[in-house]
Amino acid sequence: MSALTTIGLPVALGIIMFGLGLSLTVGDFARVLKQPKAVIVALLCQLILLPAICFGLVLAFQLPPVLAVGMMMLAASPGGTTANLYSHLFRGDVALNISLTAVNSVISVVTLPIITNLAIAYFNPFDDQLGMQWAKVLEVFAIVLIPVAVGMVVRRFWPAFAKAMDRPVRIASVIILVVVIAGAVASNWALLVENFGRLALITIVFCVISLSVGYLVPRLLRVGQRQAIAASFEIGIHNATLAIVIAQTVLGSTELSLPAAVYGVLMFFVAFGFGFLIRERGGPPEDEEAVVDDASAGRSA
């Protein structure tokens, strides 16, 4: 494997997750209890509905087994800092995004290996591999949660430093995300060109469906506009870097990472266009949210 895979990818993801930790406090997890409806709806969409939809898409597009498993890994990956950025840009509830990212990152340590193992068992892309064993699950734990925990500790005990570093690390995270995906694309160019045609359409369709589910399901269940925008980006923008790192370093397969690499490039444009669509609907988000909150208060009185 190249140095990008063995060293660059884990380091890049570590910096991204550390940056996420700098933005989190224990209160972000506690905030979930204050907005239970929005959080529960978003998590059910993320953890159950999307993998089911992705499974249907994979079968409909008749992807080869290894690419099918790669798509399922992508579907199981949580949202990340990019979702927070888009939510801020299009006037979503960024505090809800942060809470969802925090909870989803913890849950994904369990759900991502489970969904990956089920996909490997069903599609059987490797004759000599039964799935993600406990040692590899621990690797996922280390990759996802340790940098986040370190970031949270830094914020807790050195808040001034964390505050000063928050913005630079956020900017660096986005730049690193682009560089890592570009590097993964460049280092696997021949494989990517060979499979781009069959992956471009399914990744675009999956991204559009993910964003739509994240927005429409909460709205149908009377969740506020700003919360629905936050849920849309949290559910629709998956952590492609995490999927690439796990595919290439934990499972040792470049082909498994191709769906995430293609998605990681196309997602920026799809999410940007979708953001304008949902931002234009209805009246000002703040006013609508206040109306929904008042109605909820009236029902609970």
CATH code, domain with 7:
1.20.1530.20
**pTM, whole model, 2 decimals?**
0.77
Helices (H), 93-224: 94-123, 134-157, 159-187, 189-220
DSSP conformation class of 45: I
Q: Do the beta carbons of residue 136 and residue 251 sit within 8 Å?
A: yes
Within 8 A by CB and 6+ apart from 233, the residues are 79, 83, 84, 86, 87, 90, 92, 97, 211, 214, 271, 275
Task: Determine phi and psi for 6, rounding to 5 degrees.
Answer: -75, -30
Q: Which residue matches tokens 């006013």?
A: 287
Give the domain extent around 24: 3-300
Q: What's the confidence (pLDDT) of residue 127?
A: 60
Other beta carbons less than 10 A from residue 248's beta carbon: 26
Q: Report the pLDDT value the prediction gives residue 54, as an integer from 0 to 100.
A: 96
Q: What one-letter code names the amino acid at 80?
A: G
Could you tell me where the DSSP H helices lie in 45-129? Answer: 50-61, 65-76, 81-89, 94-123
Number of other residues whose CB lies within 10 A of the CB of residue 107 = 14
Q: Do 292 and 222 meet the contact criterion of CB atoms below 8 Å apart?
A: yes
**pLDDT reported for residue 106:** 82
Structural domains in the chain (count): 1
Give residue 298's pLDDT.
Answer: 41
Distance CA 208, CA 69 (A): 20
Low-confidence ranges of the chain (pLDDT < 70): 1-9, 80, 127-137, 177, 180-181, 184-185, 188, 280-301
